[in-house]
Amino acid sequence: MTSKAAVYDTLIIGNGALGLALGFRLAQRGQRIALVGPSARRYSASQAAGAMNGCFGEVTRDLLSSVHGRQKLEMDIAAGDIWEQWCDEIKEAAGVGEISLRRKEGTTIILNGGGTDAVDTENFVAIRQALSEYGRSHQLLEGHEVPWVTAQGGNRPFQGIHIPDEHSINTPAYLVTLETAFRNSGGDLIDGTVQELLSLQTSAAGSVHLTDGRQLYANNIVLAAGALSHDLLTSALPDIAPYVPPVTSGYGASVLLSHGSVPRPPSVIRTPNRAFACGLHAVPRDEGIYVGATNKLQEKPQLFAHVPDLHALLERAMRQMHAGFGTSGVLAVNVGNRPVPVDGFPLIGVIPDTRLWMLTGTYRDGFHQSPFLADRMASAIIDGTHEPLFDSFAPVRAPIQTGRREDLIATAVEHALAVGFEAEWRVSVRWPTRIADLLASKYRAAVEDLHDTITPPPDVLVCMADNDWLKRKLRSYYGVYSRDRSLQERQPKFDVA
């Protein structure tokens, strides 16, 4: 380091919802912060997000049945409770007055004919159960009471739940305002891409090299680079990276549609999570109606939407949401890459004996969780506060397994079949059972070949069964865990709530 080079208190790599939220909170609390990311937000999940404040709407049967799943729900609830004040703080720091960062019209979950009993009905019941258990306001609707939806034939809703306090964020306005709030609070927003991380030991300031040759120094470095975070970790700390769950890219497409003959949805309208994705949802926006979203695990982040995914999304929007979308135009196609750790849970906390922190792996609901995670991580960095909720999600960890192997295989099969039913396949009535048996055998053989006992979550399992790149990643991560007894002892065999 040259004697003149400034040393930041904290340098954040990644300018998505998480990096920006943390940068804002740290700068506001008086730290000297640099936040590095390309201004176009290449590959970013955040700019493709709905972004629903999905909390109870994200609940699934399986989420409620594991300790880690419950902890994730509690983070979602805690995040939901602070969004209002968070937006007020950002607006004040950005000096933007009455701009609308959130639509506060609630969410209506629909149980419709586009799904299956095994997935949609079970998850719908789990959502209702969680709302009652946590004492949150909601209203049950008969099918004919569900507003706005004009679905065709068998796709009409049978039931609904309106959740008045589950809102949505106006993504473009929010990200711009948060950037301004960060800068106004004294943060340095640096348009660039980090190529290399150096000197991460705790004895001296760490540094990063940017692709344009610049070098920056900081006492703490936070990896919040979304789906690319694990690649950067591997190049910086090749001995430690194998102990951290690899992060895959949950590539997803969504669209912004013009109204055509479709009226504005009175709230977010969505199905439960289904078929490995975050359900079909329509979100009212100032510029039109956002419809999302697809989800496919990929080895590398994607820049463009795949034709079959867009085709399926638009068709479902017309069949299950509103037939009037047949008169709409496509104003924008959004593509993003969710950071998906191979055990399905976030990576939050410091890498032991280094100055490197990780804040990523938030999969489907990182936008919603961002203010909560930013608050708690800022306290950990500045005050050394211990956050109990983060204990389970520390980056260096043995794989989290949220159920027994046979149950995870069964769930994988249910979701795989749900893809077929949602695409309105027509097969003889006895074929779904036969196909289910074949898929179960295929998935069982794939996991047995992978490891004696450890089983990945259903969406990762299904992708792994067809993809060698994912098998390699899982084998190498599970191998470290199997060899290292100290890691084994830190982890329960099965995590059942």
Residues at the interface with ligand FAD (CB under 6 A): 13-19, 36-38, 41-46, 48-52, 54, 193-194, 224-226, 228, 232, 252, 254, 278, 292-293, 336, 338-339, 360, 362-368
As measured in angstroms, the least distance from the Cβ of 344 to ligand FAD is: 12
CB of 96 to ligand FAD, least distance (A): 21
* Shortest Cβ 480–ligand FAD spacing (Å): 24
Q: Which is nearer to ligand FAD, 231 or 407 (CB)?
A: 231
Q: Which is nearer to ligand FAD, 199 or 491 (CB)?
A: 199
Is the Cβ of residue 113 or residue 279 nearer to ligand FAD in the bound state? 279
Region of 127 on the Ramachandran plot (φ > 0 left; ψ -120 to 50 alpha; else beta): alpha
User: Are the CB atoms for 280 and 111 separated by under 8 Å?
Assistant: no
In the complex, least distance from residue 30 CB atom to ligand FAD, rounded to whole angstroms: 23
280, 316 contact by CB (below 8 A): yes
Handedness of CA 459, 315, 102, 55 (dihedral sign): negative
- For residue 449, the minimal CB distance to ligand FAD (Å) is 30
Choice between 316 and 451, CB closer to ligand FAD: 316
Minimum distance from residue 102 beta carbon to ligand FAD (Å): 12
CA distance 297 to 289: 26
CB of 185 to ligand FAD, least distance (A): 18
Quick one: 22 or 417, whose CB is closer to ligand FAD?
A: 22
Q: How far apart are CA 118 and CA 100, in angstroms?
A: 38
CB of 236 to ligand FAD, least distance (A): 11
What minimum distance in Å lies between the beta carbon of 292 and ligand FAD? Answer: 5
The CB-of-490 to ligand FAD minimum distance in angstroms stands at 25
- Return the number of the residue (376 or 444) whose C-beta is nearest ligand FAD: 376
Residue 36 vs 126, nearer CB to ligand FAD: 36
Give 221 or 447: the residue with its C-beta nearer to ligand FAD. Answer: 221
Tell me how far, at minimum, the Cβ of 80 lies from ligand FAD, in Å.
11
In the complex with ligand FAD, which residue's Cβ is closer, 61 or 364?
A: 364
Nearer to ligand FAD, 364 or 405 (CB): 364
Minimum CB separation of residue 435 from ligand FAD in Å reads 28
Question: DSSP of 95-111, one letter per residue?
Answer: T-TT---EE-S-EEEEE
Distance between CA atoms of 165 and 90, rounded to whole angstroms? Answer: 20
Distance CA(233)–CA(349), nearest Å, equals 13
For ligand FAD, the closer of residues 231 and 484 by Cβ is 231
Are 223 and 13 spatial neighbours (Cβ–Cβ below 8 Å)? yes
Residue number, 153 or 213, with CB nearest to ligand FAD: 213
